[in-house]
Structure 1
Amino acid sequence: MSARSTAFGRGRILVLAALVAGVVAVSGCTAGGPSAGPSATSSAATPSAARDRGAFPVLSPEARIRLYAASRLQSMTLEQKIASMFVVHIPGSDPAPVQGYLAANGAAGVLLLGDNVPGSTQQTAAFTAALQTGDGLGTVIAIDEEGGIVARLSADTFPAAETLKNEPAAATADAFRQRAALVRQAGANVNFGVIADTTADPGSFIYDRVLGTDPATASERVAAAVTAENGQVLSTLKHFPGHGQVPGDSHDSLPSTDISMEQWSTSDEPPFQAGIDAGAPLVMFGHLVYTAVDSAPASLSPAWHALLRERLGFEGVAVTDDLLMLEASGVPAYADRTTNAVAAVAAGNDLLLYNSTVDLPPLVASIANAVRSGEIAESAVDEAVLRDLVLRRGIWLQQHPDAAL
């Protein structure tokens, strides 16, 4: 087996371990290293166990979650599937408008920003609890909680990248373990908080947020952060394929680099591979152009999504960075919201992120039209939504630990 094939299998097991054994925290599952648990398509049953329990094989928890997700998928219309791929920000700390938006639009969840969390952790927990439903799928409640200059929760006083990049990896593990506990206490379940970018350039936009200034130290600390968050919140690596070598700020421009794939494989790839191997269940795509691979930003690039899946062995959920950033880039090709949404799904994203409240029905309709016209394969939408549903079923089970898988 090749090194890449080994990484593929290892990544699959670890992602499922994070989704089921760690975050769900159901009895009989364990989080941790490469032997943390079976893959989603495997069965926990041995022939003797199957005989003891009757004619039907005993399915692993992972397999049962996937069966549940597949059943939910079969009951959804095309428009419902597409709507469930969106995560948006809805301002304010009153849960009623958020509940109304989610119920009316069928979105997967929300992104918490500062205006959602102005009070104490307990107040935030009450707000987020009101957004969860009893229908068997958890609402994705995501937050950017890196610490330091990117922190939404006022109680997050734990060390962040500014200091952690100069400390042993154990310090990163300690900080992210405490940070993840706080995020979970506040009721968020997805943390867009692990920077896998790396750069040694103090002038870089991302420098103050990187966990390591070279691939080796960044990889060590990224793995430590993900491992520390496992079992508490769902970790997200960002900003794939790496902001460190790409000059500029992707919030209001479209950063581009002409470095070769060979250069990328040594300078930017290792921390992402380390995070995937540690079990990160989500990867966020940056609005970054690597001309050696694609003239489009990675967030809208089928080539980069294929590389993440096939080269790095990632089988978790791919999420865009805030798609409104593309509109703010000033590049005419990315000025249209609908076009960007269609391209994001066509590229292979599972979740589309917006840091503002967007009018969802026109976006859903445009993507559905692209599916019906053959521009996007419905099977690709099904694969994306299935990954999302597995994630959301895991979130729900974490909130209902006594529920049957």
Structure 2
Amino acid sequence: MRRRRRLTRAGVVALAAALVAVTGCSAEAPPPPPPLARLVGAPAPLDPTAVYLEQRIAAMTLEQKVAALIMVHVPGTDPARIRSVIDAHGLAGVILMGDNIPGPAARVAALTGELSSEPGLPVLTAIDQEGGIVRRLQEDRFAASWELRAAPPAAAEQAFAGRSALVADAGVLINFGIVADVTPDRSSFIHVRTLGETPAAAAERVAAAVRGEQGSVLSTLKHFPGHGASPDDSHVSIPRSSLTVEEWRATHAVPFRAGIEAGAPLVMTGHLLFDRVSPLPASLSPTWITILREQLGFEGVIVTDDMLMLQRSGVADYRDPVRNAVRALAAGNDLLLYVLPADPSTVGVDLADMIRALAAAVEDGRIDEASVNASLERVLGMRRAASGEIGPYVDCGPKCRGALARPHVAEGTAGG
């Protein structure tokens, strides 16, 4: 089986351009067709990525569709074990935590290079590399958030350019690394990780961080709609705020808007309850997803924060992981994130059962299939762009994964 190709800086630039085409983000308009084509009414040339996605999604079962919208953590540094979990369920990808890091970036790259079974559709790899107290790659000596708050925005751009180059050297595609939260409250859980104590200051540095990461990795803004609105820790509670949407728009929205306008392709929703906006945490709230899409104009991939945090909050309404998953996908998130332990059953998670339950929710209308297909376009489009391939979609059956019995689709040019 061929190794996944490392994503180069040029590859990330190409990937970002492809995502613009897939998601419909604003970009420079394509050149007009030549006069002769206009004269005879020739159809516009087909976008090979759009055709690939349309055909691939049409060939997927409901279970394959919802599974392709799940990202997990698999403990350890054995790439074969991590890949076996991905392949067994057809998952979108993995997040690397501290226990997945075997050493320097070069050694991490050796691991990530073995995680994809299909070169034409590599798995998504992600990491939390904020710098400072949240860093998985210990080589990261670039300025931390508390240093960047006191420095000009150019320093944030420089720090995140270096940081993202390190992440790219590790063969990781996505950095869950740009904290767009804002608070002046030094007792707040999130304060030490923020890039500014005022909306304007945070916005300047968030946008600079996105610019710094461009060309190396795919940036993620977190934790929407703003962890700084409450001092509490969402890892063990459901932080609550009584801000109105108008008050939010003038404060906590500002850094997110700046990061989106700077080109961030992912936003992470937090388990944060703004009770005057929605009765649900943002990660489960159609209201907040609509605000993100329609008011902030975000057209990229929306990923949840670790879904297990909802269970750890102790709130009875969020005790059931399957119910949480159905709500999160129904709300409009594109990608559900699970930082699973070695034995997922200890936290009540069985991936096969969860995937079946999500598919059943699509069948009975609790989750809109058109929304699932739109999420697939965004997530599979990101994976397809990372491959650098533009060949046609070909269903070559189980042989594409050798001994694995699970039906599988792959590129005709990939060789299986």
Into which bin does the TM-score normalised by the smaller protein fall?
0.7 to 0.9
Q: Deviations over 1:329-357 (max 9, x none)?
A: 00000011110000110110100001115
Match of 1:198 in 2: 182
- What is the identity, as a one-letter code, of the residue corresponding to 2:369? E
1:383 to 374, 395, 399: 374
Aligned-pair CA distance for 1:58 = 3.8
Task: Please show how residues 214-229 of structure 1 align to structure 2 within 5 Å.
Answer: 214-229=198-213
8 Å CA contact 1:198–1:211 kept in 2: the answer is yes
**CA 305–367 in structure 1, closer or farther in 2 if over 3 Å, else same:** same
Q: Distance in 1 between matches of 2:245 and 2:10?
A: 34
Q: Deviations over 1:170-197 (max 9, x none)?
A: 0000000000000000011000000000
Task: Please show how residues 274-293 of structure 1 align to structure 2 within 5 Å.
Answer: 274-293=258-277
8 Å CA contact 1:24–1:398 kept in 2: the answer is no
8 Å CA contact 1:322–1:354 kept in 2: the answer is yes
Task: Please show how residues 189-338 of structure 1 align to structure 2 within 5 Å.
Answer: 189-338=173-322
What CA RMSD, in Å, does the superposition of the two structures yield over aligned residues?
A: 2.8
Aligned-pair CA distance for 1:369 = 1.1
Q: Secondary structure at the match of 1:146?
A: strand
Q: Secondary structure at the match of 1:25?
A: helix
8 Å CA contact 2:13–2:214 kept in 1: the answer is no
Unaligned stretches of 5+ residues in structure 2: 1-6, 345-349, 392-412
Q: Distance in 2 between matches of 1:303 and 1:28?
A: 27
8 Å CA contact 2:15–2:382 kept in 1: the answer is no
Match of 1:370 in 2: 361
Aligned-pair CA distance for 1:267 = 1.3
Percent of residue pairs identical: 48
8 Å CA contact 1:50–1:57 kept in 2: the answer is no
8 Å CA contact 1:204–1:248 kept in 2: the answer is yes
- What is the identity, as a one-letter code, of the residue corresponding to 2:90? G
- Matching of residue 132 in structure 1 with residue 119 in structure 2: no
8 Å CA contact 1:251–1:329 kept in 2: the answer is yes
Q: Greater CA deviation, 260-269 or 100-109?
A: 260-269
Q: Distance in 2 between matches of 1:266 and 1:27?
A: 33
Normalised by the length of structure 2, the TM-score is 0.84
1:119 to 64, 86, 103: 103
Q: Deviations over 1:34-62 (max 9, x none)?
A: 9xx9858997352217749x955345xxx
Match of 2:33 in 1: 47
8 Å CA contact 1:22–1:30 kept in 2: the answer is no
Aligned-pair CA distance for 1:65 = 2.5
Aligned-pair CA distance for 1:247 = 2.4
Q: Distance in 2 between matches of 1:86 and 1:40?
A: 27
**CA 336–330 in structure 1, closer or farther in 2 if over 3 Å, else same:** same
Q: Distance in 2 between matches of 1:170 and 1:398?
A: 35
- What is the identity, as a one-letter code, of the residue corresponding to 2:375? A
1:80 to 64, 80, 94: 64
Aligned-pair CA distance for 1:24 = 3.7
- What is the identity, as a one-letter code, of the residue corresponding to 2:140? D
1:57 to 38, 44, 49: 44
Q: Deviations over 1:86-106 (max 9, x none)?
A: 100001111010111111110
Task: Please show how residues 99-114 of structure 1 align to structure 2 within 5 Å.
Answer: 99-114=83-98
Match of 1:186 in 2: 170
Size of the alignment, in residue pairs? Answer: 375
Q: Distance in 2 between matches of 1:41 and 1:80?
A: 32
Aligned-pair CA distance for 1:310 = 0.5
Aligned-pair CA distance for 1:75 = 1.5
8 Å CA contact 2:12–2:217 kept in 1: the answer is no
Normalised by the length of structure 1, the TM-score is 0.87
- What is the identity, as a one-letter code, of the residue corresponding to 1:221? R
